[in-house]
Amino acid sequence: MKRDRKPSAQTLSLLGALLQQPRTWCHGYDLCIATRIKSGTLYPILLRLSDRGFLEHKWQESRESGRPPRHVYRLTAGGIAYARVQITGSDWAAMPAALRSRA
């Protein structure tokens, strides 16, 4: 039996940040800054969303020579639908914008 649980405030914050430009590739570091979620929390969420098919990811070569490639993420079509349902169907929509950015 599969359990559907409500996404955490951090997951909702991440989904909200990704929904701002859903088809644009985003670096994990940029998502850390946008959501104010620490990397130790952010990356496991990204992995879970990816495992569920809501995110796609790839390695992107650095534009600066000598820098290693970076992982980038973006929502899939199913991820966009999931994010919209989760954000509009939760207390997230009623939360003041200043608090949402810290969630």
Q: What is the pLDDT of residues 45-76, one digit of tens each?
A: 999 999 999 999 999 888 888 888 889 999 99
Distance CA 15, CA 86 (A): 9
Distance CA 40, CA 21 (A): 24
Instruction: Write 31-35 long-range contacts (CB < 8 A, 24+).
Output: 31/73, 35/10, 35/101, 35/103
Going from the N-terminus, what domains does the chain have, and what CATH number goes with each? Answer: 9-100 (1.10.10.10)
Q: Select from 57, 40, 45 the least CA-distant residue to 10.
A: 45
Task: Tokens 């998502």: give the residue.
Answer: 31
Q: Which two tokens stand for residue 73?
A: 């993420």
How many residues are present in the chain?
Answer: 103
User: Which pTM does this prediction carry?
Assistant: 0.79
**Predicted local confidence at residue 97, as pLDDT:** 54
pLDDT band at 90 (very low <50, low <70, confident <90, very high): low
CA atoms within 13 A on the CB side of 48: 11
Contact 28, 46 (CB under 8 A): yes
Kindly tell me if the per-residue pLDDT of 29 is higher than 50.
yes
